[in-house]
Every structure is written in structure tokens, then in C-alpha cells.
Amino acid sequence: MMDLARWMSIYGSITDDFGFYPCMDHRSSMILSNFVGDPDLPVKRGRTAYVIGNGPAIREAVPSISGGYSIVADSAILAYWSIRGCPDMIVTDLDGDLESIFECAHQGSTIVIHGHGDNIHRIIENRERISRAMVGTTQNLPFRNVANFFGFTDGDRAAYIAHRMGFERIVLVSFDFHHVNRTKQGSAAMKAKKLKWAEALLAMLAADRGSPMGVGDFIEI
């Protein structure tokens, strides 16, 4: 099972692969800790969590979801919001559609904000919109009220959060690990590498849960 010691070993491999500086991730946690509240996840409702990614089938897949607890990775929030309104939870590093994210916060969605070395400026720019009702996360060692629930990208982190919350079923919806989403800025090669890590981390989670890592628009882990 994933624990902090195992995660920190994986995290070391990630930072080596990308050339990231762990000290910058820690600095981001220090800044984020000033604006978020306690790292308490909400009590789960129901047996099933649907974790929604921004794959090409999102507009076809989301309407078929029935019941369950919805956790949306921030790249998918605009599409999800246009179909179903606000989800139960949004997992974000603040590079998704911020208007949708903060509007959903006002409507009661739990917002989990991730701090890392590349989004310090976004945390500072949005500090007046971040509230104590929001949860802060890091991929480095936990710091004060900023937790490490494991995960690297918003999508795989959302699944690890669902696991931490205790859901019996976790269903990945519209996850595409092989085609880069070009709706965001950044290097296509970098994004492709992140997708490979996301897929690997989700496969680890599936194995820990005793499930095979399948394929398709709905993947139960």
C-alpha cells in the first residue's frame, strides 16, 4: 500500500525525471499554508466515487454518470460544469478555469488546492479567493496544514484522495493517457511525460486496491 515512505521514493524519481526542485515544492507549501484551512477531507457519501478527467469522451461520458460522488480534475471542470453544474469536489493546481472553480466553491464544492514549484505565482495571485474552507496539498513532505494524499497530476491525485476517503468503488471517467490535451499551455512532450506518470500511479493504486488497470472511458479501480 502507498505510504509516505514509498511515496517519497516515487517523488524522488519524478523530480529526477522532470528536473524539478523539491525545495520549490516545499516553498509552495509554505505559502499555500497561509491561506487554506485544516487538511480534513469531507465524509464520503455513498459507495462510489467518479473521478473525471478531461479526455476526448468527456461530453459523452459525463451525462451517463448516475449517483455517486463526483471528483473533477481542474482541466475537466469547464466541460463538467457545462453539463452537470458543480461537482462534489474539484482537485486543482489553479491552472484550470478559475471562474468555474471559485464559483463552485461558493456553491459548496470542496476545493483541494495543490501547491508545487510552478504554481507559486498562481497561489499568490489568487490568495484573496482561497479560503480556510479549502484543503491544501503537496507532493513533498506535509507542512503544517498542507497534506500529502499522494499523486502527481490533478487526475491521479483525485483518485488517491477518493481512496483516502474510503470509497469502495472508484471509477475513472474520461481518462486518456496517450493523447495530450492541447487546451492548456505548455510543452507537449512535458505533458506526455506527465500522462505516463499519471497512468503508472493509477496502476499502482489499482494494484493496491486489488483491481486490474483497465482501459476505456470508464475504468474501475
Residue 59 has pLDDT above 90, yes or no: yes
CATH of domain 4-220: 3.90.1480
Compute the distance between CA of residue 20 and CA of residue 2 in angstroms, rounded to an integer: 22
- Nearest residue to 117 via CA among 10, 11, 219: 11
Give the model's pLDDT for residue 45: 84
Instruction: Taking residues 112-137, report their average pLDDT.
Output: 98
The pLDDT-based confidence of 186 (bands split at 50, 70, 90) is low
Instruction: Taking residues 4-12, report their average pLDDT.
Output: 99
Cell of 150: 499522494
Q: Which residues fall within 8 angstroms of residue 177, CB to CB, at 6 or more apart?
A: 195, 196, 198, 199
The pLDDT-based confidence of 177 (bands split at 50, 70, 90) is very high
Residue 182 has pLDDT above 60, yes or no: no
Q: Where are the domains of the chain?
A: 4-220
Give the model's pLDDT for residue 143: 98
| Percentage with pLDDT > 90 across the chain | 89
Compute the distance between CA of residue 191 and CA of residue 193 in angstroms, rounded to an integer: 5
Q: What are the strands of the beta sheet with 110-115, ordered from one edge?
A: 146-147, 135-138, 110-115, 89-92, 69-73, 48-52, 169-173, 218-220
Residue 25 has pLDDT above 90, yes or no: yes
Instruction: Taking residues 147-171, report their average pLDDT.
Output: 98
Residue 185 has pLDDT above 90, yes or no: no
Residue 175 has pLDDT above 60, yes or no: yes
Residue 184 has pLDDT above 60, yes or no: no
Give the model's pLDDT for residue 107: 98
Instruction: Taking residues 141-160, report their average pLDDT.
Output: 98
Query: Tens of pLDDT along 63-110?
Result: 999 999 999 999 999 999 999 999 999 999 999 999 999 999 999 999
The pLDDT-based confidence of 183 (bands split at 50, 70, 90) is low
The pLDDT-based confidence of 29 (bands split at 50, 70, 90) is very high
